[in-house]
Structure 1
Amino acid sequence: MSERPKIVVDENMPAVERLWGDSAEIDRWPGRSLRREHLEGADALLVRSVTRVDRDLLDNTSVRFVGTATIGTDHLDIEWLEQQGVQWASAPGCNADAVVDYVLSALWQLAREDGWDPLAQTVGVVGAGNVGGRLVARLKALGMETRVCDPPRAQRENDDSFVDIDRLLSEVDVVCLHTPLTVEGAWPTRHLLDARRLARLKPGAVVINAGRGPVIDNGALLDIARQRPDLSLVMDVWEHEPAVDPALAQHCRIATPHIAGYSLDGKIRGSWMLYQAYCRWLGVDACRSLASVLPPPAVAGLELAAGFDPADAMRLVYDPFRDDRQLRKTLNRTDPEQRAAFDLLRRHYPVRREFSSLLLQGRFDPGMMAQLSGLGFRVSGTEAPE
């Protein structure tokens, strides 16, 4: 490795220059169009989920470290990287809270529009890893009834509290998908929700996919959406993205361009976790803290009056309908233009913070205080009588 290493970076990764400072040469490229020729002389590569990292990309390059600022690693050919002696790192949990914020925001906004109580819903979580596990924890903190399907965990932990996917789909009001995308092994997740399983959804069910697009057969989902207008679909990921089926999007209550985890907190945390892994690989001290590169939020606190709706505080931090409107503007374009617009929405995504960045103050009854804390806000105030 040269005295001042060269690091090729996805153009959408924040804070890389601040984290590495002058210790490395940073060369940025669009992640989806990254090619081998862009890696000439590179010692390290930092990507997000849109870049497939395998032999086709890295063979005969000087890259010896690969980091992905994402929870998932299905876009990395880990077996090949390890065979070649290329060190790799991911950022598990970096944007998990952002995805949970997205799911809860969508659920509370739909509840307000349709006039039902979100706390009274039974929620099924498919995949209880970094994201799904945190979602389950928040749902339980809110006192909500849950069903959890995660066959690998159920087997590993010998835990009979997990349920199978068919039972979950037939019992819950809300289905949240947070599995990795796998096509082999004992529990493949590609098209986990196919036509047969989609038919098991309860009347009026809400389906939220903020995991991997191909976990749902999008063609089958469109068919059942046409047959069952009672269903509410929230789709952040798509089977053939950056292509989005306009017909399917038309049947979605909320349709967004794979940005559920796109909080500034999560993105910077992902970069910082790779910075730490890179320093460990080199055997040097990581001298920059997360706090040193995370800016203060534009709105740090809010004083709430009696009778407020928690959905208002949630929407102040994150409004899923804003992202929905932006995506829908792109769906009447030609296929190449729509694909490019999808990536532009991600590339130029506005600053978004997490619920935990906002301090809510006021006089709260015990139930409301518990709800706000369960949602993920910081809460400070006196208890009002119920």
Structure 2
Amino acid sequence: MSEPLAATSRRVEGKARVIVTRRLMPDIEQRMSQLFDVRLNDDDHPFTRGELVDVMNDCDVLVPTVTDTIDAAMIEGAGERLRMIASFGAGTDHIALAAARARRVVVTNTPGVFTDDTADLTMALMIGVMRRMREGTRIVRHGEWRGWGPTGMLGRSLGGKTLGIIGMGRIGQAVAHRARAFGLQIVYHNRRPLPESVERMFGAEYFADVDGLLAQSDIVTLHCPKSAATHHLLDERRIALMKEGSVIVNTGRGDLIDQEAMIAALESGHLWAAGLDVYPDEPVVDPRLIAHPYVITQPHIGSATEEGRTAAGMKILANIQSWADGHSPPDRVIEGYA
């Protein structure tokens, strides 16, 4: 039996029992408490698997985040009371969707609200690594700066470089829109080409083959979902295909890159730099990445704005309320039954 949860229970007769695995924005928690019988995670600790199993037997609606793995065994073993999983975040790779469908559990997510925020951070990482901002900040803070000089702290220009975007969905296109303003040439890989009119808008060239895109790109940024097909999409072989001295930016999922292969390429100089917001073993970040002067490491903050997190919370409220009222939620991921 797992330890009791450090959580607040607010029972309101006749209302859906909702358990939230992490803290949400205060206004969202307040409104959720008004609408539903809510149990909140007051100390914001990440739930263990045992805790998730316990709460799934004690709620009508579970509100997990993308860091909560809800596997098939957990869904199959959940009590009959569980009817909905209203996930915070756009990704659904952490939820066993087939098992949810089999149990007739409705699954929803919060698509679209983090697009601009994640694209902004992607550009920030791109600019940061190209202009050596991590190293510059360090030498100023440590009192090592000796003043301006013609050859001091030389980085690289963005203008004229080729940006390879792997995954041209909402976020990939938002990155392309921003990148064009910085004078980057856009090439992209997607499951299928974008409409010709959209390609013209971005001045983008489609590559059906990832290998070909890598060979052409000075900077590669990843915006594809986590799946069996994309696990270690950039492996040792593909990283070797990249241009000597190229750059990787990843605000997608940590498992998209073979981390050992990337570190080896950074240490050999084949890769010049990397800007990373996600990692395969979060919250653990490999010390070699932290130590590398040309690697910027951020703590998974792609969606971390007040506006974005509030908008996601509003989507969760709307999804749960719609389901509770007997309607199909607007952000339904799979076919389920209320």
Query: Shorter-chain-normalised TM-score: which range?
Result: 0.7 to 0.9
- Unaligned 5+ segments in structure 2 are 1-11, 133-153, 328-338
SS at 1:260's partner residue? coil
SS at 2:164's partner residue? strand
Q: Which residue does the alignment assign to 2:149?
A: none
Is 1:60–2:78 an aligned residue pair? yes
Q: Which residue does the alignment assign to 1:355?
A: none
Q: Which residue does the alignment assign to 1:83?
A: 102
**Runs of 4+ displaced beyond 4 Å:** none
Contact 1:125–1:175, Cα closer than 8 Å, also in 2: yes
CA distance in 2, matches of 1:41, 1:69: 19
Give the C-alpha shift of residue 234 in structure 1: 1.1
Pick the aligned partner of 2:161 from 116, 121, 137: 121
Is 1:181–2:222 an aligned residue pair? no
Q: Which residue does the alignment assign to 1:236?
A: 277
Structure with more relative contact order (C-alpha pairs < 8 Å, separation 6 or more): 2
Root-mean-square deviation over aligned CA pairs: 2.6
Pick the aligned partner of 1:227 from 268, 279, 284: 268
Describe the superposition over 1:304-353 as per-residue Cα deviations: whole angstroms up to 9, x where unpaired.
Answer: xxxxxxxxxxxxxxxxxxxxxxxxxxxxxxxxxxxxxxxxxxxxxxxxxx
SS at 1:120's partner residue? coil
Contact 1:32–1:50, Cα closer than 8 Å, also in 2: no
SS at 1:50's partner residue? coil
Give the C-alpha shift of residue 206 in structure 1: 1.5
SS at 2:206's partner residue? coil
Q: Structure 1 residues 171, 214: CA separation in 2 closer, same or farther (over 3 Å shift)? A: same
Q: Structure 1 residues 31, 46: CA separation in 2 closer, same or farther (over 3 Å shift)? A: farther
CA distance in 1, matches of 2:219, 2:289: 19
Pick the aligned partner of 2:210 from 152, 155, 165: 165
Give the C-alpha shift of residue 21 in structure 1: 4.3
Q: Which residue does the alignment assign to 1:308?
A: none
Give the C-alpha shift of residue 276 in structure 1: 1.5
CA distance in 1, matches of 2:180, 2:167: 16
CA distance in 1, matches of 2:156, 2:205: 28
SS at 1:35's partner residue? helix
Q: Which residue does the alignment assign to 1:265?
A: 307
Give the C-alpha shift of residue 153 in structure 1: 2.7
CA distance in 1, matches of 2:30, 2:307: 15
Contact 2:186–2:205, Cα closer than 8 Å, also in 1: no
Describe the superposition over 1:20-52 as per-residue Cα deviations: whole angstroms up to 9, x where unpaired.
Answer: 241212212334424211344311111111111
TM-score calculated relative to the size of structure 2: 0.75
Describe the superposition over 1:77-105 as per-residue Cα deviations: whole angstroms up to 9, x where unpaired.
Answer: 11111111111101112212111111111
Is 1:132–2:151 an aligned residue pair? no
TM-score calculated relative to the size of structure 1: 0.66
CA distance in 2, matches of 1:155, 1:144: 19
Contact 1:95–1:265, Cα closer than 8 Å, also in 2: no
CA distance in 1, matches of 2:324, 2:37: 16
Q: Which residue does the alignment assign to 2:21?
A: 10
Letter in 2 for 1:246: P
CA distance in 2, matches of 1:109, 1:31: 30
TM alignment of 1:18-97, pairs within 5 A = 18-29=30-41, 30-33=45-48, 34-58=51-75, 59-61=77-79, 62-97=81-116
Q: Structure 1 residues 230, 239: CA separation in 2 closer, same or farther (over 3 Å shift)? A: closer
Q: Structure 1 residues 161, 230: CA separation in 2 closer, same or farther (over 3 Å shift)? A: closer
Pick the aligned partner of 2:186 from 146, 157, 165: 146
Q: Structure 1 residues 250, 229: CA separation in 2 closer, same or farther (over 3 Å shift)? A: farther
Q: Structure 1 residues 2, 161: CA separation in 2 closer, same or farther (over 3 Å shift)? A: farther
Q: Which residue does the alignment assign to 2:240?
A: 199
SS at 1:146's partner residue? strand
CA distance in 2, matches of 1:171, 1:279: 48
Aligned length: 279
